[in-house]
């Protein structure tokens, strides 16, 4: 097998992607930090911060009190010489482990010490009077604060490196918070002991940020993170490759997603991933076709239900498995197949889990044809989807659907003729109904964990139909009770068929997997049994269909 190349996924395309990469690598950030530090230094030298320092002078504290001794200990533990010594040791170890870029970045960050001393000597800003004047920390000039520079450098570099580890976003945020707290505690101890003024500490943080971002830029932060993620991974690859079809609007930190995916892919011995970004005009159709043309062995769909539907539509009948990386509001297919909603757990499952053959439902309407994998709806359901704010979904998640439902609290009923299978010739026609909603399902559970199709399974070869048409407001209570217990009541009925046709006198809005499509007077839904293979947890794969995906 060939040795794994040090490959990192291509950056996002377009101007926004290039800007994110420019700032993320530090090439754009360190000059900005340096300029801000220079501006603040000019203000300090002009004496414009004297009033600020006077107003925020720390109260006199006796060195021998318990509080004083604790602060003295913190000051010694965060002494610049100790911090830079630790960074120096890390640089030597990194070099010995052939992590040359990381060693370069760490070595560059050591410039913070001589640079701080040089600037402090030039500024010649005396320290404030302090009861701790005999402390080891009370040496040298005050501006910029040496403790603040060293701790900011260490926290910024180390917290940046933790982003390369395979950790959930919440843990990465905790590490960032820990870095901020470390800097804050260091500065607070220096101020409380009267060793530094506020302007000195601000200058130290600014200089530390400039040094840290410069070090990461010199070492190459993207290459550092990629090589860091390779530690302990197998040296060879297998002849398999995955494609990631992703919706960029569903992620706050795309670079973190890329590192997580590449870490799991490399750990499994797969070839580097093919990254394909969806667009506002294409939820994933063209991207999936490109993945198939590249001969990939697996397609990961990272987005909402619309992205999953587009990818599933293109994978139908190809035999190439679909893996779900749930990032949307509903994630209905993932929930029904018990796919983990945690990003890292879903990634590990995608590369090692068994596959399950599930049905797709081909829908044909006035002027169009497309498959859905979860649900489709006419009437009220489609209006709710159309009125749901994408911005609200990012903030209150499923609550956005509730607000849209309130806006449609008095739905307008419509007439629909329902034919199940060969209804006209076999006599199995469900006849004409007056409803507010006709909902089709390939699975049983919707948003909020409510099961509205109690008999539905994604591989039964049938499409389920729910008709809701309460005559009075009081009937809504019966409908709600019927949904909870899974039984037909007045205004609520369930049906199943391999093929069904819905016909209305007037055009009615409809949706597919949560995406409003338009209006139609005729909708034909036909099941395509076992048309799609999906990676699922072992517990969700029927014993007769457990094909290990390796």
pLDDT tens across 374-405, in order? 988 888 776 766 545 454 444 334 444 444 44
CATH assignment of the domain containing 291: 3.40.50.10330
Does residue 193 carry a pLDDT above 80? yes
Candidate from 336-340, 358-362, 466-470 with smallest mean pLDDT = 466-470
| Same domain flag for 452 and 427 | yes
Domain boundaries, position 511: 368-529
What percentage of the chain carries pLDDT values higher than 70? 75
Q: Residue 253 — φ and ψ, nearest 5°?
A: -140, 90
Cβ contact 90:219 at 8 Å: no
What percentage of the chain carries pLDDT values higher than 90? 30
Can you say how many angstroms the Cα of residue 184 is from the centroid of all Cα atoms in its chain?
28
Residue 6 placed within a domain: no
3 pLDDT band, cuts 50/70/90, is very low
| Same domain flag for 307 and 456 | no
Q: Which among 273, 252, 251, 275 has a CA at the least distance from the CA of 262?
A: 273
Q: Is the dihedral of CA 191, 196, 202, 204 positive or negative?
A: negative
Q: What is the mean pLDDT of residues 21-43?
A: 75
**3 state SS of 357:** strand
Residue with tokens 């794994």: 4
More confident residue, 513 or 115: 115
| Same domain flag for 32 and 78 | yes
Burial 123-143 (b: 16+ CB within 10 A, else e): bebebbebebeebebbeebbb
Residue 8 placed within a domain: no
Q: What is the mean pLDDT of residues 118-126?
A: 87
Please say which residue of 205, 229, 253 terminates a domain: 229
Please say which residue of 208, 229, 250 terminates a domain: 229
450 pLDDT band, cuts 50/70/90, is confident
First to last CA, the chain: 17
CATH assignment of the domain containing 458: 2.60.200.40
What is the average pLDDT score of the chain? 79
HEC sequence for 304-337: CHHHHHHHHHHHCCCCCCEEEEECCCCCHHHHHC
Candidate from 174-178, 217-221, 297-301, 446-450 with smallest mean pLDDT = 446-450
More confident residue, 12 or 108: 108
pLDDT in tens, 267-294: 788 888 999 999 989 999 999 999 999 9
Instruction: Give the pTM.
Output: 0.58
Q: What is the mean pLDDT of residues 304-323?
A: 93
Does residue 24 carry a pLDDT above 70? no
Burial 380-391 (b: 16+ CB within 10 A, else e): bbbbbbebbeee
More confident residue, 27 or 399: 27
Residue 9 placed within a domain: no
pLDDT in tens, 74-105: 888 989 999 999 989 988 887 776 667 778 88
| Same domain flag for 198 and 283 | no
Total of domains in the chain:
3
| Same domain flag for 378 and 323 | no
């Amino acid at each position: 097998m060939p040795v794994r190349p040090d490959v990192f996924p291509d950056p996002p395309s377009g101007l926004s992607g290039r800007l994110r990469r420019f700032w993320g690598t530090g090439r754009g950030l360190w000059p900005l930090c340096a300029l801000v530090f220079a501006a603040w230094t000019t203000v300090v030298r002009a004496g414009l911060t004297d009033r600020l320092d006077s107003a925020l002078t720390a109260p006199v504290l006796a060195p021998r009190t318990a509080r004083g001794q604790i602060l003295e200990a913190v000051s010694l533990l965060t002494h610049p010489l100790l911090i830079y010594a630790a960074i120096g040791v890390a640089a030597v170890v990194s070099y010995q482990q052939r992590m040359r870029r990381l060693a370069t970045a760490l070595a560059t960050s050591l410039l913070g010490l001589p640079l701080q001393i040089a600037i402090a000597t030039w500024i010649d800003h005396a320290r404030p009077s302090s009861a701790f004047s005999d402390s080891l920390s009370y040496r040298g000039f005050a501006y910029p604060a040496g403790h603040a520079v060293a701790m900011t450098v260490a926290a910024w570099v180390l917290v940046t490196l933790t982003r390369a580890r395979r950790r959930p976003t919440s843990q990465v945020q905790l590490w960032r918070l820990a870095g901020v707290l470390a800097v804050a505690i260091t500065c607070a101890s220096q101020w409380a002991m009267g060793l530094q003024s506020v302007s000195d500490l601000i200058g130290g943080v600014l200089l530390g940020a400039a040094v840290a971002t410069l070090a990461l830029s010199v070492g190459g932060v993207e290459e550092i993170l990629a090589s860091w993620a390779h530690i302990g991974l197998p040296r060879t690859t297998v002849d398999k490759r995955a494609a990631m079809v992703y919706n960029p609007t569903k992620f706050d930190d795309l670079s973190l997603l890329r590192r997580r995916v590449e870490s799991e892919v490399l750990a499994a011995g797969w070839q580097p991933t093919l990254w394909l970004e969806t667009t506002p005009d294409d939820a994933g159709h063209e991207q999936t076709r490109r993945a198939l043309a590249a001969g990939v062995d697996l397609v990961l769909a990272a987005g909402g239900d619309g992205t999953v539907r587009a990818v599933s539509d293109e994978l139908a009948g190809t035999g190439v498995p679909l893996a779900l990386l749930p990032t949307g509001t509903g994630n209905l297919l993932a929930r029904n197949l018990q796919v983990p909603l945690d990003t890292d757990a879903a990634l590990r499952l995608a590369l090692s889990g068994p596959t399950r053959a599930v049905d797709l439902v081909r829908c044909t309407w006035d002027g169009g044809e497309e498959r859905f994998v979860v649900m489709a709806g006419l009437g009220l359901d489609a209006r709710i989807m159309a009125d749901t704010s994408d911005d609200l979904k990012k903030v209150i998640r499923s609550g956005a659907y509730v607000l849209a439902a309130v806006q449609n609290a008095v739905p307008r009923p419509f007439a629909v003729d329902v034919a199940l299978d060969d209804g006209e010739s076999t006599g199995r026609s469900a006849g004409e109904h007056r409803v507010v909603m006709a909902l089709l399902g390939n699975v049983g559970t919707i948003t909020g964990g409510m099961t509205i199709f109690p008999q539905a399974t994604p591989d039964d070869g049938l499409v389920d139909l729910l008709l809701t048409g309460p005559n009075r407001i009081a009937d809504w209570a019966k409908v709600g009770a019927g949904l909870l217990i899974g039984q037909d009541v007045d205004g609520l009925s369930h049906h199943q068929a391999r093929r069904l046709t819905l016909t209305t006198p007037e055009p009615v809005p409809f949706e597919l997997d949560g995406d409003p499509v338009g209006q139609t007077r005729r909708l034909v839904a036909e099941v395509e049994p076992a048309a799609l293979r999906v990676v699922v947890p072992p517990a969700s794969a029927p014993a007769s269909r457990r094909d290990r995906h390796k």
